[in-house]
């Protein structure tokens, strides 16, 4: 037995590593195949154009238009970026260049903790605090694009802060020193030299955050009102693609169920596109 192990350990371990690597690849492949195999048959019964550009969602009458949900997903994600991107980038700048090591020691675990909070807890926070706050101060029912965006904006903060901070720290120190030597202030050097130098890293962090925001479900379903019609007013409700799938999956049957899998397929394609954008930007950064 021992002799066997000695002779073949190299190959056995190689096989083990290969098998481990395969789990990830196989999972992605299986999900792809499942989504395509189960999502595509829907389009033999329902035209793709009507599905993607239809503005009415009425499963009872077999009318499935997901344009409101596509627009809703982007609407809420854009709102989240409006809040999350500036706050996240400025936090990263603070942690990289302005705060003392003691402040950073507190901030880092805080950011990591923010990333670790389950989305259903964010949802509770939103529904118990933000929704009543918006209802009493701004009107409406409170379940709105606004609350969903603010909540998502908070949820994507860790992604943006962590990637932006890493990008800022990766900028060579001599850039900063050269800027100071030319007579620029500390602030000027940070904002005019270091931040632009880290731009592509920060951008890829934002793209990663977009992927996170588009895919978020549980927190959104609790605060968004989930109205399946074209979104508009930021104080009114909105339904995203993810919510559409989760919300109706439990009770859907027949064509309705297939339409939800097709919704998942559309979501998958969008997230894949965002990920390709991310790796494309990384590649360009590597070339630079």
Partner 1 sequence: MNLRKILSLMLALVAVMSLTLTASAFDTAKEIAVVSREEGSGTRSAFIELTGVMTKVDGVEMDNTYAEADFVSGTSLVMTTVESNEYAIGYASLSSVLQNDAVVAVPVNGVTPSAESILDGTYPIARPFNIVTKGELTDELARDFMAFVLSVQGQEIVAEDGLVPVSTEETQEYKPQNLKGTLVVGGSTSVAPVIELLKEAYEELNPDVEVDVQSTGSSAGVTGALDGTYALGMASRDLKDSELEAGALPVVIGVDGIALIKNPANPIADLSLEQVRAIFTGEIRTWSELGE
- Positions touching partner 1 (CB under 8 A) are 57-61, 127-128, 131-133, 135-137, 140-143, 221-222, 225-229, 236-237, 239, 246-254, 256-257
State the minimum distance, in angstroms, from the CB of residue 182 to partner 1: 33
Of 121, 118, 150, the residue nearest 133 (C-alpha): 150
Task: Give the pair of three-digit tokens for residue 238.
Answer: 């909105």
Beta carbon nearer to partner 1, 75 or 176: 75
State the minimum distance, in angstroms, from the CB of residue 108 to partner 1: 25
Beta carbon nearer to partner 1, 108 or 256: 256
Of 88, 83, 126, 142, the residue nearest 220 (C-alpha): 126
Beta carbon nearer to partner 1, 130 or 161: 130
Helices and strands: H and E segment counts in the chain:
15, 2
For strand 63-64 and strand 57-58, is the pairing parallel, antiparallel, or unpaired? antiparallel
Collapsed DSSP state (helix, strand, coil) of residue 227? coil
State the minimum distance, in angstroms, from the CB of residue 114 to partner 1: 21
Beta carbon nearer to partner 1, 50 or 249: 249
State the minimum distance, in angstroms, from the CB of residue 32 to partner 1: 24
272: left (phi over 0), alpha (psi -120 to 50) or beta: alpha
Compute the chain's Rg from CA coordinates: 23
DSSP annotation string for 3-58: HHHHHHHHHHHHHHHHHHHHHHHHHHHHHHHHHHHHHTTHHHHS-HHHHHH---EE
Beta carbon nearer to partner 1, 207 or 220: 220
State the minimum distance, in angstroms, from the CB of residue 102 to partner 1: 19
């Amino acid at each position: 037995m021992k002799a066997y192990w000695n002779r073949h350990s190299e190959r056995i371990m190689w096989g083990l590593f290969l098998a481990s690597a395969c789990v990830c690849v196989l999972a992605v492949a299986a999900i792809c195949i499942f989504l395509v195999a189960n999502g595509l048959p829907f389009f033999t019964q329902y035209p793709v154009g009507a599905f993607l550009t239809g503005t009415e969602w009425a499963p009872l009458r077999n009318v499935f238009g997901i344009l409101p949900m596509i627009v809703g997903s982007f609407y809420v994600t854009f709102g989240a970026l409006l809040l999350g991107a500036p706050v996240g980038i400025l936090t990263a700048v603070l942690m990289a260049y302005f705060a003392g090591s003691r402040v950073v020691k507190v901030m880092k675990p805080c950011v990591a903790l923010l990333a670790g909070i389950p989305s259903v807890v964010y949802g509770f926070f939103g529904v118990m605090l933000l929704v009543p706050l918006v209802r009493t101060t701004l009107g409406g029912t409170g379940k709105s694009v606004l609350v969903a965006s603010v909540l998502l904006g908070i949820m994507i903060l860790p992604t943006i802060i962590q990637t932006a901070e890493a990008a800022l720290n990766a900028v060579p120190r001599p850039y900063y020193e050269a800027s100071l030597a030319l007579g620029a202030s500390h602030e000027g050097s940070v904002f005019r030299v270091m931040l632009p130098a880290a731009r592509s890293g920060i951008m890829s962090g934002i793209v990663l955050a977009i992927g996170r925001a588009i895919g978020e479900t549980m927190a959104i379903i609790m605060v968004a009102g989930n109205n399946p019609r074209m979104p508009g007013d930021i104080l009114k409700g909105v339904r995203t693609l993810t919510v559409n799938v989760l919300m109706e999956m439990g009770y859907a049957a027949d064509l309705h169920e297939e339409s939800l899998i097709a919704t998942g397929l559309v979501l998958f394609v969008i997230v894949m596109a965002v990920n390709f954008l991310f790796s494309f930007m990384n590649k360009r950064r590597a070339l630079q």
